[in-house]
Amino acid sequence: MTLLADLSTAIIAGDDARAGDLTGRAIAQGIPPKAILDDGLIAGMTVVGDRFRDHEIFLPDVLLAARAMYAGMDLLKPLLIRDGIPALGTVVIGSVRGDLHDIGKNLVGIMLKGAGFEVIDLGHDVAPAKMVATAREHGASVIGMSALLTTTMPAMREVVELLKHEGLDGTVRTIVGGAPVTEAFARTIGADAYGFDAGNAVDVVKDLVGRR
Protein backbone atom coordinates (compact mmCIF):
# COMPACT_ATOMS: atom_id res chain seq x y z
CA MET A 1 0.00 0.00 0.00
CA THR A 2 1.58 3.24 -1.18
CA LEU A 3 0.20 5.35 1.66
CA LEU A 4 1.85 3.16 4.29
CA ALA A 5 5.10 3.03 2.31
CA ASP A 6 5.03 6.83 2.24
CA LEU A 7 4.40 6.84 5.98
CA SER A 8 7.41 4.68 6.65
CA THR A 9 9.48 6.90 4.35
CA ALA A 10 8.36 9.99 6.30
CA ILE A 11 9.49 8.32 9.51
CA ILE A 12 12.86 7.39 8.04
CA ALA A 13 13.24 11.02 6.92
CA GLY A 14 12.30 12.27 10.40
CA ASP A 15 9.44 14.37 9.00
CA ASP A 16 7.01 14.49 11.90
CA ALA A 17 4.42 16.74 10.23
CA ARG A 18 4.18 14.42 7.25
CA ALA A 19 4.14 11.29 9.42
CA GLY A 20 1.22 12.68 11.42
CA ASP A 21 -0.59 13.75 8.27
CA LEU A 22 -0.16 10.38 6.54
CA THR A 23 -1.22 8.46 9.64
CA GLY A 24 -4.37 10.58 9.82
CA ARG A 25 -5.13 9.90 6.15
CA ALA A 26 -4.55 6.17 6.57
CA ILE A 27 -6.99 6.15 9.49
CA ALA A 28 -9.52 8.16 7.48
CA GLN A 29 -9.27 5.69 4.61
CA GLY A 30 -10.22 2.90 6.98
CA ILE A 31 -6.89 1.05 6.86
CA PRO A 32 -6.80 -1.25 9.91
CA PRO A 33 -4.81 0.35 12.76
CA LYS A 34 -2.68 -2.79 13.12
CA ALA A 35 -1.63 -2.50 9.45
CA ILE A 36 -0.77 1.19 9.88
CA LEU A 37 1.32 0.25 12.90
CA ASP A 38 3.12 -2.70 11.30
CA ASP A 39 3.54 -1.56 7.70
CA GLY A 40 3.92 2.16 8.40
CA LEU A 41 5.41 3.01 11.77
CA ILE A 42 7.26 -0.20 12.65
CA ALA A 43 8.43 -0.72 9.07
CA GLY A 44 9.96 2.77 9.08
CA MET A 45 11.61 2.37 12.47
CA THR A 46 13.03 -1.01 11.45
CA VAL A 47 14.90 0.65 8.58
CA VAL A 48 16.05 3.41 10.95
CA GLY A 49 17.32 0.80 13.41
CA ASP A 50 19.19 -1.10 10.70
CA ARG A 51 20.81 2.05 9.29
CA PHE A 52 21.84 3.18 12.76
CA ARG A 53 23.34 -0.23 13.49
CA ASP A 54 25.29 -0.03 10.23
CA HIS A 55 26.53 3.52 11.06
CA GLU A 56 24.81 4.92 7.97
CA ILE A 57 22.88 7.34 10.18
CA PHE A 58 23.54 8.71 13.66
CA LEU A 59 21.81 9.77 16.84
CA PRO A 60 20.19 13.01 15.54
CA ASP A 61 18.59 11.08 12.65
CA VAL A 62 17.21 8.48 15.07
CA LEU A 63 15.82 11.15 17.40
CA LEU A 64 14.08 12.91 14.51
CA ALA A 65 12.69 9.59 13.23
CA ALA A 66 11.41 8.82 16.73
CA ARG A 67 9.63 12.15 16.85
CA ALA A 68 7.96 11.32 13.53
CA MET A 69 6.98 7.88 14.84
CA TYR A 70 5.40 9.47 17.94
CA ALA A 71 3.43 11.89 15.73
CA GLY A 72 1.81 8.86 14.10
CA MET A 73 1.58 6.82 17.29
CA ASP A 74 -0.31 9.58 19.12
CA LEU A 75 -3.12 9.28 16.56
CA LEU A 76 -2.98 5.51 16.34
CA LYS A 77 -2.79 4.53 19.98
CA PRO A 78 -6.42 5.23 20.93
CA LEU A 79 -7.53 3.05 17.99
CA LEU A 80 -5.18 0.21 18.93
CA ILE A 81 -6.59 0.31 22.45
CA ARG A 82 -10.17 0.47 21.13
CA ASP A 83 -9.55 -2.57 18.93
CA GLY A 84 -7.89 -4.43 21.78
CA ILE A 85 -4.64 -4.85 19.87
CA PRO A 86 -1.99 -5.65 22.45
CA ALA A 87 1.57 -4.36 22.41
CA LEU A 88 4.33 -6.99 22.05
CA GLY A 89 4.82 -6.57 25.77
CA THR A 90 5.53 -3.95 28.41
CA VAL A 91 9.12 -3.01 29.24
CA VAL A 92 10.20 -0.79 32.13
CA ILE A 93 13.47 0.97 31.37
CA GLY A 94 15.75 3.31 33.26
CA SER A 95 19.32 4.31 33.98
CA VAL A 96 20.25 2.87 37.34
CA ARG A 97 20.64 4.69 40.65
CA GLY A 98 23.45 7.22 40.58
CA ASP A 99 23.69 7.21 36.78
CA LEU A 100 22.67 10.38 34.97
CA HIS A 101 23.46 9.18 31.44
CA ASP A 102 20.38 8.58 29.38
CA ILE A 103 21.18 8.80 25.68
CA GLY A 104 21.75 5.06 25.31
CA LYS A 105 18.73 4.21 27.42
CA ASN A 106 16.59 6.61 25.37
CA LEU A 107 17.77 4.91 22.17
CA VAL A 108 16.75 1.53 23.53
CA GLY A 109 13.34 2.98 24.42
CA ILE A 110 12.92 4.39 20.92
CA MET A 111 13.87 1.10 19.28
CA LEU A 112 11.57 -0.90 21.58
CA LYS A 113 8.64 1.41 20.83
CA GLY A 114 9.55 1.25 17.17
CA ALA A 115 9.28 -2.53 17.35
CA GLY A 116 5.82 -2.44 18.94
CA PHE A 117 6.53 -2.63 22.68
CA GLU A 118 4.87 -0.55 25.35
CA VAL A 119 7.72 1.26 27.11
CA ILE A 120 7.64 2.87 30.54
CA ASP A 121 10.73 5.04 30.78
CA LEU A 122 11.57 5.94 34.37
CA GLY A 123 14.39 8.27 33.31
CA HIS A 124 17.79 8.33 35.00
CA ASP A 125 19.02 7.80 38.57
CA VAL A 126 16.20 5.29 39.19
CA ALA A 127 16.13 3.49 42.54
CA PRO A 128 15.98 -0.34 42.33
CA ALA A 129 12.74 -0.45 44.34
CA LYS A 130 11.08 1.95 41.92
CA MET A 131 11.98 -0.21 38.92
CA VAL A 132 10.53 -3.29 40.56
CA ALA A 133 7.41 -1.53 41.87
CA THR A 134 6.69 -0.04 38.43
CA ALA A 135 7.10 -3.40 36.72
CA ARG A 136 4.70 -4.99 39.21
CA GLU A 137 2.15 -2.19 38.92
CA HIS A 138 2.06 -2.28 35.10
CA GLY A 139 2.41 -6.02 34.69
CA ALA A 140 5.65 -5.52 32.76
CA SER A 141 7.41 -8.60 31.48
CA VAL A 142 10.88 -7.04 31.24
CA ILE A 143 13.01 -4.50 33.14
CA GLY A 144 15.79 -2.93 31.06
CA MET A 145 18.62 -1.28 32.97
CA SER A 146 21.35 1.01 31.67
CA ALA A 147 24.62 2.08 33.29
CA LEU A 148 27.37 4.16 31.69
CA LEU A 149 29.61 4.15 34.74
CA THR A 150 31.40 1.21 36.31
CA THR A 151 30.58 2.82 39.65
CA THR A 152 26.82 2.55 39.14
CA MET A 153 26.74 -0.96 37.67
CA PRO A 154 26.35 -2.67 41.09
CA ALA A 155 22.83 -1.18 41.34
CA MET A 156 21.82 -3.60 38.57
CA ARG A 157 22.46 -6.53 40.88
CA GLU A 158 20.12 -4.98 43.48
CA VAL A 159 17.23 -4.98 41.00
CA VAL A 160 17.84 -8.61 40.10
CA GLU A 161 17.95 -9.58 43.76
CA LEU A 162 14.91 -7.53 44.66
CA LEU A 163 12.91 -9.34 41.96
CA LYS A 164 14.01 -12.66 43.42
CA HIS A 165 13.16 -11.51 46.92
CA GLU A 166 9.66 -10.55 45.79
CA GLY A 167 9.20 -13.81 43.88
CA LEU A 168 8.95 -11.97 40.55
CA ASP A 169 12.11 -13.35 38.93
CA GLY A 170 10.09 -15.82 36.83
CA THR A 171 7.60 -13.24 35.53
CA VAL A 172 9.73 -10.13 35.16
CA ARG A 173 12.88 -10.76 33.17
CA THR A 174 15.91 -8.45 33.23
CA ILE A 175 18.20 -7.11 30.53
CA VAL A 176 21.24 -4.91 31.19
CA GLY A 177 23.36 -2.75 28.93
CA GLY A 178 25.60 0.33 28.67
CA ALA A 179 29.18 0.93 27.57
CA PRO A 180 31.02 -0.74 30.49
CA VAL A 181 28.46 -3.56 30.90
CA THR A 182 29.35 -6.96 29.50
CA GLU A 183 27.71 -10.32 28.95
CA ALA A 184 29.95 -11.75 31.67
CA PHE A 185 28.80 -9.07 34.11
CA ALA A 186 25.16 -9.81 33.27
CA ARG A 187 25.75 -13.48 34.08
CA THR A 188 27.62 -12.65 37.29
CA ILE A 189 24.74 -10.64 38.72
CA GLY A 190 22.12 -13.13 37.53
CA ALA A 191 20.44 -10.87 34.93
CA ASP A 192 18.46 -12.77 32.29
CA ALA A 193 20.09 -11.04 29.34
CA TYR A 194 22.56 -8.50 28.01
CA GLY A 195 22.09 -6.16 25.06
CA PHE A 196 25.23 -4.82 23.41
CA ASP A 197 23.46 -2.03 21.54
CA ALA A 198 19.94 -0.66 21.06
CA GLY A 199 19.12 -2.87 18.07
CA ASN A 200 20.43 -5.98 19.76
CA ALA A 201 18.46 -5.09 22.90
CA VAL A 202 15.22 -5.23 20.91
CA ASP A 203 16.05 -8.70 19.55
CA VAL A 204 16.97 -9.91 23.02
CA VAL A 205 13.81 -8.50 24.61
CA LYS A 206 11.75 -10.21 21.89
CA ASP A 207 13.45 -13.47 22.83
CA LEU A 208 12.77 -12.86 26.51
CA VAL A 209 9.03 -12.47 25.88
CA GLY A 210 8.96 -15.23 23.26
CA ARG A 211 7.94 -12.96 20.41
CA ARG A 212 10.58 -13.64 17.85
**List of residues contacting another protein (CB under 8 A):** 54-61, 63-64, 67, 97-100, 103, 125, 149-154, 179-180, 182, 185
C-beta of 141: minimal distance to another protein in Å? Answer: 27
* First-to-final CA distance of the chain: 25
Closer residue to another protein, CB minimum distance, 70 or 185 = 185
**Any residues with CB less than 8 A from the CB of 21 and at least 6 apart, and which?**
none
Closer residue to another protein, CB minimum distance, 31 or 198 = 198
C-beta of 184: minimal distance to another protein in Å? Answer: 9
Q: What's the angle, vertex CA 110, arms to CA 104 and CA 116, rounded to 5?
A: 140
C-beta of 171: minimal distance to another protein in Å? Answer: 28
C-beta of 23: minimal distance to another protein in Å? Answer: 20
DSSP, collapsed to helix, strand or coil, labels residue 66 as helix
CA distance 154 to 177: 13
Closer residue to another protein, CB minimum distance, 32 or 154 = 154
Q: Whose CA is closest to 111, among 14, 201, 16, 10? A: 201
Closer residue to another protein, CB minimum distance, 100 or 129 = 100
C-beta of 148: minimal distance to another protein in Å? Answer: 10
Closer residue to another protein, CB minimum distance, 95 or 141 = 95
Q: What's the angle, vertex CA 176, arms to CA 172 and CA 178, rounded to 5?
A: 155
